[in-house]
Amino acid sequence: MTAPVFVVDSLPSGGLPGGRYVLDGPEGRHAVSVKRLRPGEDVVLTDGRGRWSEGVVEAAEGKDRLVVAGLEGVHEEPPEQPRVTVVQALPKGDRGELAVETMTEVGVDAIVPWAASRCITQWKGDRGLKALGKWRATAREAGKQSRRVRFPDVADAATSKQVASLLAGAAFAAVLHESGEEPLAAAELPASGDIVLVVGPEGGVSPEELALFAQAGAKPYRLGRSVLRTSTAGTAATAVLLARTGRWS
């Protein structure tokens, strides 16, 4: 799928009335004024939840209206298996958005912000809601850029106990940590179900958190000889998992 992707509120399974859709607002402005799409060019409309339809630009009107035709069929992309969730400790600055962006581009299915004990950044009150909104907006934009039609879910910020509960229900649970004796690239992975991977903060995963996660069934694994930043470790690990599970075949 190489045509540019734009997000709409919904795509009915029976198709769009008359096979046409007027893309306006921020998405229409991006299509007309930024992408400068013209009649005859292919586009994909998606709801970001797996449904998509491919059409052709019929007209570009003003600065923010794109008329798309040929949308008779609506397709649905099934969820990938196994499903990969990354529990991402809150990094400082804008590194969280970088992590979300690159993990989305690689193909992660869900991201859980984690308020680890050693996190420098804390999400509280309005500041936390604003930061969460940025993560979700970043996942949406990165999903469009990478031509995805099923964007990753970005959950509410989780406590360590909530992360442990998530790990306990996974088909495969792992914590990226230098104490791991086994490399992630050699781990035995399931063909289906949930793979949940924990990425710690700049200060590392605390011994208490490691113990809590071990009780939930999550072993420590290492990626390689070097230690990656918290903002890049999840992306590298997801790539390893997707290649080994056959999702990149």
List pLDDT tens digits, range 11-31. 887 778 888 999 999 999 999
Q: How far is CA 220 from the centre of its chain?
A: 23
Annotate 140-181 with DSSP letters as a single string: HHHHHHTT-SBPPEEPPPB-HHHHHHHHHT-SEEEEE-TT-S
User: 47 with 12: CB under 8 angstroms?
Assistant: no
pTM above 0.85, yes or no: yes
What pLDDT shows up at residue 1? Answer: 52
Residue 147 pLDDT? 94
Rounded distance between C-alpha atoms, residue 8 and residue 42, angstroms: 16
pLDDT of residue 17: 82
Alpha helices, H only, the chain: 25-29, 95-106, 125-145, 160-168, 207-215, 230-245
Per-10-residue mean pLDDT, the chain, length 249: 87 83 93 94 95 94 92 92 97 93 98 94 91 96 95 97 98 94 94 96 94 97 88 96 92
- What confidence score (pLDDT) does residue 15 get? 76
